[in-house]
């Protein structure tokens, strides 16, 4: 085995965000750029030599080339075995599943999640640890520290590996095992849900539409819904993964999943619709002419969990990200279990799940999952909904209205301002921070500010502290506004504004969220001067 040591120089921009390192494809294609980050990752790990690593991605442009580079670097750095998804495809939840089932030391996921793909699109690299979850901050900080001082990386000179044929081969002493991308994940899903009951639902008069958005879940959805559960051919749409996602934006929301929305809001619409994102960890749920807010989805799954085989013994607790609505809190209170509020980023759920303090967790950004893996899981959420609907024999809309009747309705919306110039976005947040000490007690119409702060989180398991996780303005009636800059984009900044108001009165549960939240929207504009400071007249996306 010919190991080459290549001299290199650091790049200054390799700090991982909440979901790894995301940049334009052209950035990753620079000489040494990907290699530097991968070597920095290996240099940050302990006792990985001879161990098993899982590798795969969402099939976006540059996925195959990056896998070949990483395989040769893994061999040069002493990894014992790499399990790689067939054709380089492995969804994020499936990667977590394989890591956990095989006892791998960790995994490398090649994805920029819901960001656009193609030669002019985005690419990303994320390291997951042995529990199957995203690397915690202490690991990502170590990777960044190494990236700032790196002087060389190691790579093997060897032919490319055949990624399309199942089986084993070798690069030097390292075994490369090309695995079926779907099998392990599908078996896990069958162990959690009543597949026979869902099969009866999908082979009756009930109709569903699954939009995989030409992203990674296509093969999984075809195998599970159409082949195993008996849904008619054509139930899965846009089910072939493409390097540019068919020119679309693989983000399952009302704007970017417009094909699915048009189908579900048309006459003679199916009973149920769902979409997943680039790497398969997010989901959007629709009923006939009905949109389910992701925060409500988390609450409904928690409230009905004991109807599903894998959760019949009940929940230990629920966790949600801070910007996610408090609908799940009301379910937890009724069930007599704790509800934890964490920063945005799935890695913050890992310690709670590992300590068996929570069973189900979720984020308002269309991500939900449980203790079966350590990642968000889009198809898991779809199966969970189908299992509940099969048991209750209700429509999505009927189920939601029953839920609101029991728990009240948390009117909720998120405004995304994408591609804001970084200086403008930072000025807006700086101005908000300057106002925080003066807001308590201030009145905006009928609303009075009860608190204003920048959210800080102390992990109840390891005591680690994460500061500056989002500006919160809470009012005495329980409503609130949250401002955050998202770390998932690659160009400029994305400002996210979250608005929430609780309504207990069932006669007021029929309002459009934008109508119910109108005065909070106006307050957010008044306090933050969004239009002036972003230069944008309206949000890019409203959910």
One domain for residues 247 and 344 = yes
H or E element: which one contains 274? strand 272-276
> Among 407, 426, 461, which residue terminates a domain?
407
Q: Give the phi and the psi of residue 248 in degrees, each rounded to 5.
A: -95, 180
One domain for residues 403 and 414 = no
pLDDT tens, the chain, 543 aa long? 799 999 999 999 999 987 799 999 999 999 999 999 999 999 999 999 999 999 999 999 999 999 999 999 999 999 999 999 999 999 999 999 999 999 999 999 999 988 999 999 999 999 999 999 999 888 999 999 999 999 999 999 999 999 999 999 999 999 999 999 999 999 999 999 999 999 999 999 999 999 999 999 999 999 999 999 999 999 999 999 999 999 999 999 998 999 999 999 999 999 999 999 999 999 999 999 999 999 999 999 999 999 999 999 999 999 999 999 999 999 999 999 999 999 998 889 999 999 999 999 999 989 999 999 999 999 999 999 999 999 999 999 999 999 999 999 999 999 999 989 999 999 999 999 999 999 999 999 999 999 999 999 999 999 999 999 999 999 999 999 999 998 655 567 899 999 999 999 999 999 999 999 999 999 999 999 999 999 999 999 898
If one counts the domains in the chain, the total is 3
One domain for residues 265 and 400 = yes
CATH number at residue 15: 3.40.120.10
Q: Give the phi and the psi of residue 508 in degrees, each rounded to 5.
A: -115, 20
| Nearest Cα to Cα of residue 383 among 441, 310, 442 | 310
Catalytic annotation present for 113: yes
* CB-CB contact of 216 with 406 (8 Å): no
One domain for residues 13 and 131 = yes
Burial 346-372 (b: 16+ CB within 10 A, else e): bbbbbbbbeeebbbbbbbbbbbbbbbb
513 forms bridges with which residues in the sheet? Answer: none
One domain for residues 343 and 441 = no
Q: List the beta strands (DSSP E) in 250-289.
A: 272-276, 283-287
One domain for residues 47 and 85 = yes
**Cα Rg, the chain, nearest whole Å:** 23
Task: Give me the catalytic one of 44, 91, 96, 113.
Answer: 113
Domain boundaries, position 233:
185-407
Work out the angle between the directed axes of helices 396-407 and 294-303 (0-180°, nearest 10): 80
d(CA 38, CA 49) in angstroms, rounded, equals: 15
Per-residue pLDDT, 440:
95
CATH number at residue 509: 3.30.310.50
d(CA 146, CA 536) in angstroms, rounded, equals: 38
d(CA 127, CA 146) in angstroms, rounded, equals: 15
| Nearest Cα to Cα of residue 347 among 311, 382, 319 | 319
d(CA 162, CA 176) in angstroms, rounded, equals: 10
* CB-CB contact of 166 with 87 (8 Å): no
One domain for residues 440 and 533 = yes
> Among 407, 434, 453, which residue terminates a domain?
407
One domain for residues 162 and 175 = yes
One domain for residues 142 and 267 = no
* CB-CB contact of 136 with 38 (8 Å): no
**Helix, strand, or coil here: 416?**
strand
Per-residue pLDDT, 488:
57
One domain for residues 197 and 227 = yes
CA angle 525, 528, 530 (to 5 degrees): 60
> Among 131, 150, 181, which residue terminates a domain?
181
The set of residues, in sequence order, having a beta carbon less than 8 Å from that of 113 and lying 6+ positions away, is 19, 22, 58, 92, 124, 277, 278, 279, 281, 282, 488
One domain for residues 150 and 27 = yes
- DSSP label of 430: H
Per-residue pLDDT, 522:
95
One domain for residues 219 and 194 = yes
């Amino acid at each position: 085995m010919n190991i080459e040591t290549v001299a290199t120089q650091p790049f200054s921009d390799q700090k991982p965000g909440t979901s790894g390192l995301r940049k334009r494809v052209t950035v990753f294609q620079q000489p040494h750029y990907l290699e530097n980050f991968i070597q920095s990752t290996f240099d940050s790990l302990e006792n990985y030599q001879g161990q098993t690593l899982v590798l795969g991605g969402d099939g976006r442009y540059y996925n195959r080339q990056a896998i070949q580079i990483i395989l040769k670097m893994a061999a040069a750095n002493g990894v014992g075995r790499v399990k790689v998804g067939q054709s380089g495809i492995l969804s994020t939840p499936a990667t977590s599943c394989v890591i956990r089932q095989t006892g791998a030391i960790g995994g490398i996921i090649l994805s920029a999640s819901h960001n656009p793909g193609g030669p002019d699109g985005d690419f990303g690299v994320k390291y997951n640890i042995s529990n199957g979850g995203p690397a915690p901050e202490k690991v990502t900080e170590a990777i960044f520290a190494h990236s700032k001082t790196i002087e060389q990386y190691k790579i093997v000179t060897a032919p490319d590996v055949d990624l399309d044929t199942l089986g084993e081969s070798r690069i030097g002493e390292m075994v490369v095992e090309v695995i079926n991308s779907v099998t392990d994940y599908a078996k896990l899903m069958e162990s959690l849900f009543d597949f026979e009951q869902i099969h009866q639902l999908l082979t009756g008069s009930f109709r569903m539409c699954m939009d995989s958005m030409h992203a990674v879940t296509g093969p999984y959805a075809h195998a599970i819904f159409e082949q195993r559960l008996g849904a008619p051919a054509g139930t899965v749409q846009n089910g072939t993964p493409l390097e540019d996602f068919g020119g679309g934006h693989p983000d399952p929301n009302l704007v970017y999943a417009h094909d699915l929305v048009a189908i579900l809001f048309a006459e003679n619409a199916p009973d149920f619709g769902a979409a997943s994102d680039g790497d398969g960890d997010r989901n959007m749920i629709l009923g006939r002419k009905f949109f389910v807010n992701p925060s409500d989805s988390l609450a409904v799954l928690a409230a009905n969990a004991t109807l599903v085989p894998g959760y019949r013994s009940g929940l230990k607790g629920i966790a949600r990200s801070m910007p996610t609505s408090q609908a799940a809190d009301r379910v937890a209170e009724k069930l007599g279990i704790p509800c934890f509020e964490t920063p945005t980023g799935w890695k913050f759920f890992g310690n709670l799940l590992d300590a068996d303090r929570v069973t189900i967790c979720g984020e308002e950004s269309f991500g939900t999952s449980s203790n079966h893996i350590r990642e968000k899981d889009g198809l898991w959420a779809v199966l969970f909904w189908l299992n509940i609907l099969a048991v209750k024999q209700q429509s999505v809309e009927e189920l939601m209205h029953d839920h609101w009747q029991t728990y009240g309705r948390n009117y909720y919306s998120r405004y995304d301002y994408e591609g804001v110039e970084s200086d403008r976005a930072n000025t807006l947040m700086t101005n908000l921070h300057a106002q925080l000490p003066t807001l308590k007690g201030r009145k905006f119409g009928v609303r009075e500010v009860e608190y204003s702060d920048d959210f800080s989180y102390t992990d109840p398991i390891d005591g680690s502290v994460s500061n500056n996780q989002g500006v919160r303005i809470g009012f005495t009636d329980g409503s609130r506004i949250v401002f955050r800059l998202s770390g998932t984009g690659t160009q400029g900044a994305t400002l996210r504004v979250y608005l929430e108001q609780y309504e207990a009165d069932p006669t007021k549960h029929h309002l459009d969220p934008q109508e119910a939240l109108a005065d909070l929207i106006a307050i957010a504009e008044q306090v933050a001067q969004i239009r002036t400071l972003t230069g944008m007249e309206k949000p890019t996306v409203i959910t």
